[in-house]
Structure 1
Amino acid sequence: MPHPNQLISLLHLASPALPIGGFSYSQGLEAAIDSGFVTDAETAEVWIRDNLLHVQAHAEAPLWILLHRCWQSSDHAGVAAWNEWFHVSRETAELRLETEQMGWSLARLIAQMGWGDEGLRAALLAQSPVCLPTAFTAACVALGVDAREGLTAYCFSWLENQVAAALKTVPLGQVAGQRILYRLYPALQEAVAEAARRADSDPPMLSTFSPMLGVLSARHETQYSRLFRS
């Protein structure tokens, strides 16, 4: 049985009003625009879809499911291991700082809100650093959100933030951004399904191979003019 407040909790966690600073990051999109790979609504949609299906779905999303399972079973050693794995998989300083800052902000919010039991909150705050997927999965377990629905909300939040970054930087109009969001519904569902398949394999199939994103993220660190922190 789904938790009776699952939908409300999902809306809360996926809201851009959640005070963890997601609006300040573009995850390489700003560098892709500066380098000429993204120039309009069509190329922005291609960039976001490719990252959703071939970056998020291959590593961060299946890892999210594994972390959710660890929190559900109170496997705090497993949480620590996957949290460390994700942190060392970040290829650039900006990507590491992004997950550290957002993860710390969400972990602090969980503590302040009193979500979950004392053991969960203590285990979360014991992570140093705490990565965003680790904190988000902890919040989902604390609020009674199941893995599939929680991951969908997590990926939609990422997707919405990418579109918001494109609106500011390409730039795009509001309607163009909404069209991109709507057209990427099937890709979002596909990414969640692929993540589940990878998490369920033995051993889990996680791949961080994304050389273009790594190069662009590294370039962004010294980009002359920028709006975003990544």
Structure 2
Amino acid sequence: MRIAELTALLHLASPALPVGAFSYSQGLESAIDSQWVVDERSTSAWIAGGLAHVLARCELPFLSHQIARWHAHDAQSIAALVTADAEFLASRESAELRRETEQMGWSLKQLCLSLEWGDTARRETLTALVPVAQPSAFAFAVAAHEIDPPAALAAYAFSWVENQVAAALKAVPLGQMAGQRVIVSLRDAIEAAVELALATPPAAINTFAPMLGVLSARHEQQYSRLFRS
């Protein structure tokens, strides 16, 4: 991998990227409130479940195909990109999760446009994509920097895992070493999720996480909250 490509990927996966990821737990806080997640073991199981059943089967393959569409950027690909983005937004399990991906997508979109990543034609397509899901905006940035798709998917998955662990450190709470053990234990799961995503055609993208939807909906009315989802 070229150094410029690697540094661009590290930038996109950085928790310092100003998209607001730190303010969301994606249902984890509600799982903690319901005592589904209470310690290091249950935290690891919760994150592994989200990685295997949500990211690997929906978010990561969606990201992979959006990257390809941004690269192609012909009339057919643009139409598919817009349709897929709308379908992804409709697939979110709760109002909170939909607002999350829209807010993070908008923030990343503003960053891409302000820094003038990509060419003019692709930036015009990104500008017109309203609302935009966060993975669609991430895919734009990946294509703009010509980052290898498998590496981009791995970085996206790792960033998601890292954010989940950061939320658990605050809300379970867990110690720093426990959080690091969870991250290390999920390295193989990230690789498996990326491999499955790369082999998933558009028609096979799916997500089935009913309890995530229930817990996320409960979170909207939760008495005390640290996170926005």
Q: TM-score range by the shorter chain?
A: over 0.9
* Other-structure match for 2:219: 220
Distance 1:60 1:151 in 2: 10
Q: CA deviation at 1:122?
A: 1.0
Query: 99-108 or 146-155, which moves further after superposition?
Result: 146-155
Amino acid at match of 2:9: L
Cα deviation for residue 4 of structure 1 reads: 4.8
| Cα drift, residue 198 of structure 1 | 1.2
- Tell me which residue corresponds to 2:27: 28
Q: Provide the aligned length of Structure 1 versus Structure 2.
A: 226
Number of the residue aligned with 1:121: 123
d(CA) in 2 for partners of 1:204 and 1:7?
31
Match of 1:189, as an amino acid? E
Contact 2:67 2:149 in 1 (8 A): yes
Correspondence 1:101-112 to 2 at 5 A? 101-112=103-114
Contact 2:109–2:137, Cα closer than 8 Å, also in 1: yes
1:91 Cα deviation from its structure 2 partner: 2.1
Deviation string for 1:35-69 (max 9, x for gaps)? Answer: 01000011000000011011111111111111011
Q: Is the 8 A contact 1:41 1:176 kept in 2?
A: yes
Match of 1:137 in 2: 139
Report the residue type matching 2:88 in the other structure.
F
Q: Alignment partner of 1:207: what SS?
A: coil
Give, in whole Å, the separation in 2 of the partners of 1:107 and 1:3.
25
Query: Sequence identity, in percent?
Result: 53
Letter paired with 1:99: T
1:155 alignment partner, one of 157, 166, 169:
157
Computed over aligned residues only, the root mean square deviation of the Cα atoms, in angstroms, reads 1.0
Q: 2:83 is matched with which residue?
A: 81
Q: What SS is found at the alignment partner of 2:200?
A: helix
- Structure 1 residue runs of 5 or longer lacking an equivalent are none
Q: Answer whether contact 2:93 2:212 (CA < 8 A) is retained.
A: no
Q: Give per-residue Cα distances to partners, 1:138-183, cap 9 Å, x unaligned.
A: 0000011121111111111101000000000000011110111011
State TM-score, norm by structure 2: 0.96
Structure 1 contact 3–144 (Cα < 8 Å) conserved: no
Cα 1:222–1:63 change in 2 (3 A) is: same
Local SS of the residue matching 1:5: helix
Deviation at 1:3, TM superposition (A): 4.9
TM-superposed deviation, 1:207: 1.3
Question: How far off is 1:217 after superposition?
Answer: 0.5
Distance, in Å, in 2 between the alignment partners of 1:3 and 1:107 is 25
CA deviations over 1:8-48 (Å, ceiling 9, x no partner) = 11100000000000000000000000001000011000000
1:169-200 CA deviation, whole Å, 9 max, x = no partner?
0000111101110110000001101111113x
SS of equivalent residue, structure 1 residue 38: coil
TM-score normalised by length of structure 1: 0.96
Q: Is the 8 A contact 2:21 2:163 kept in 1?
A: yes
Runs of 4 or more consecutive aligned structure 1 residues displaced over 6 Å after TM superposition: none
Take 2:15 and 2:99, find their aligned partners in 1: how far apart are those partners? 19
Q: Give the counterpart of 2:184 among 177, 182, 185.
A: 182
Cα shift at 1:204: 3.0
